[in-house]
Amino acid sequence: MDSIICSQNGALITITLNKPPANSYELNFLTALGNTIENTNQDPTTKVVLINSASEKFFCAGADIKVFGSNTVEQNKEMVVAARRVCHLISTSTKIFIAAFRGHILGGGLELAMACDIRLASQGNYLIGLPEIKLGLIPGNGGTVRLITLIGASRAMELLVTGNTINAVTAHQFGLINHLYPADTFGKDVLDYCKNLASGAGEAMASIKKFTLESQGMNLQQALQLETALVNPLYETPDGIEGFKAFIEKRTPNFK
């Protein structure tokens, strides 16, 4: 059974985590996921990548604690490096990554979702959190900085130092989740959202993602210079030309 399932629908690629019962990861799983994402990033026809789970109960429970406990320190460090690679490939990709979850999402699983650009979730009674402090650790795959960026220092501090979990409604209120959908329409709502986004201007979306990543920490003048450097080449792209033409002709643009 493949632990990573990949399928393509036009400009949308779906990567499904399929390692029962909880998609808990170890080195082989992370390597397969990282290689799949790397291949996806090299596909020029792809604009949007959806990461979801075959399980209704779990999106991802993070590192496999049994494996983590039996490993040597060096083996665990190797696993952490592989997890960081996955998050780095997502956050620095020119594609828009979307995490969609309807079940428990904990530790490294939440770090994976936070590395994505957009998070879509189902209503339901499941747990969301970073419990690493209960193992005497802190998140090691970007979870601390991304959680602070997404929900603010005060809320992030409490979740990190207590290791407590929150539910989907609270996560949505905090801004950790972009959209919270009814459970009975979740699959359709996610697919509709992703297909709509995948019909957009790919190069412009990639530029927006690049700006969002690189402008953090810049002063106003630096950010404006980066914005100018990113927008100028877009005027002469096929999508840029098509966008203006469609606006004048009062029709929906057909971005390639």
Cα dihedral sign for 7, 143, 178, 180?
A: positive
Catalytic hit among 26, 38, 78, 132: 132
Catalytic hit among 26, 56, 78, 111: 111
Q: Is residue 132 among the annotated active site residues? A: yes
Q: Is residue 111 among the annotated active site residues? A: yes
By the 8 A CB rule, do 15 and 33 touch?
yes
In angstroms, rounded to a whole number, what is the distance separating the alpha carbons of residues 113 and 101?
A: 9
Q: Which residues are catalytic?
A: 111, 132
